[in-house]
Amino acid sequence: MTVPARVVVLEGTLFDGPCDFIVARGAEGELGILPRHAPLITTLKPGPLMLRSQRQERFLFIDGGFLEVLPDRVTVLATGGEPAEAIDIAQAEQARRAAEERLAQGDLTDDQRAQQTLALERATMRLQAAELHRRGQRG
């Protein structure tokens, strides 16, 4: 049993197809969506998004957004995002280190601190999505 799922960003559509299981990083923690899930609207945090169809797991990185579950479809409105295989790991790694260093310096205003914390979260989550994808490819 599947539910039609669609992942869209402002610049286009990242995924469109039937899924039998979806895992996203919601405001209140990870959430898994199976077909016939109750109607739901939630905000998403930056993180990996997993879409499974016919035992094949596909990973995307989602830079925050919204998830809407309706009886007949699931829609992810992502602020930004990319397929896990398109993630530039070296660049994400570098972004993570840069954010960590800035945070370690400690002479930041509250705004700057929040900004760097967000940058760190993004980079970490991007790497996590890439890692999940890599593991999926192997096993």
Partner 1 sequence: MATLRDIRRRIRSVRDTQQITRAMQMVAAAKMRRAQARVQEARPYADGMRAVLATVSARVKEYRHPFLTAPERGDPVLLLVTTDRGLCGALNVNVIRAAHQHMRERYGSRYAVIAVGRKGREFAGRFGLPVLDAITGLPDRPTFAAVQPAAARAMGAFLDGRASSVTLAYAHYRNILRQVPQVVPLLPMVPPEASGPGPSGDYIYEPDAQSVLDRLLPRWVETEVYRAVLENQASEQAAKMVAMRAATNNANDLIRELTLTANKVRQASITRELMEIVGGAEALKAGRS
111 touching partner 1, by CB under 8 A = no
Report, in Å, the least distance between residue 43 CB and partner 1: 5
Contacts of 93 (CB under 8 A, 6+ apart): 123, 127
Comparing CB distances to partner 1, the nearer of 75 and 124 is 75
Among 17, 32, 34, 43, binds partner 1 (CB under 8 A): 43
What residue has token string 């169809």?
A: 53
Report, in Å, the least distance between residue 73 CB and partner 1: 10
119 touching partner 1, by CB under 8 A = no
8 touching partner 1, by CB under 8 A = yes
Nearest 5 degrees, angle CA 33-CA 86-CA 88?
120
Among 18, 35, 80, 83, binds partner 1 (CB under 8 A): 80
Comparing CB distances to partner 1, the nearer of 61 and 133 is 61
Element (DSSP H or E) covering residue 136:
helix 110-138
107 touching partner 1, by CB under 8 A = no
- With H, G, I as helix, E, B as strand and everything else as coil, classify residue 3: strand
Token couple for 34: 């199976």
26 touching partner 1, by CB under 8 A = yes
Strands 3-9 and 73-78: parallel
Token couple for 114: 């929040």
